Amino acid sequence: MKIEKVKISEVKLNENNPRTIKDEKFRKLVASIKEFPKMLEIRPIVVNEEMTVLGGNMSLRACIEAGLTDVHIIKANELSDEQQKEFIVKDNVSFGEWNWDELANDWDETLLADWGLDLVVKQNWDNLDYINEAEQPNFRKDNVITIIVPEEFINEVKEIEQLIKDTLSVDYSGCEVK
Whole-number Å distance between alpha carbons of 58 and 62: 6
Could you say which architecture CATH assigns to the domain 3-90?
A: Alpha-Beta Complex (3.90)
pTM surpassing 0.75? no
pLDDT of residue 78: 93
Instruction: Give the Cα-Cα-Cα angle 26, 29, 31 (nearest 5 degrees).
Output: 110
DSSP bridge partners of 72: 5
Residue type at 123 in one-letter notation = Q
DSSP state of 11: S
Whole-number Å distance between alpha carbons of 58 and 53: 10
pLDDT of residue 129: 46
Domain borders along the chain are 3-90, 100-177
Whole-number Å distance between alpha carbons of 53 and 10: 11
pLDDT of residue 132: 44
Q: Which residues of the chain have pLDDT under 50?
A: 123-137, 139-141, 178
Q: What is the pLDDT of residues 123-149, one digit of tens each?
A: 444 444 444 444 444 544 455 555 666
From first CA to last CA, the distance across the chain in angstroms is 42
Q: What is the pLDDT of residues 82-98, one digit of tens each?
A: 999 999 998 888 777 88
Contact 37, 5 (CB under 8 A): no
Instruction: Find, among 82, 3, 90, 95, the residue nearest to 47 by Cα.
Output: 3
Max CA separation in the chain (angstroms)? 72
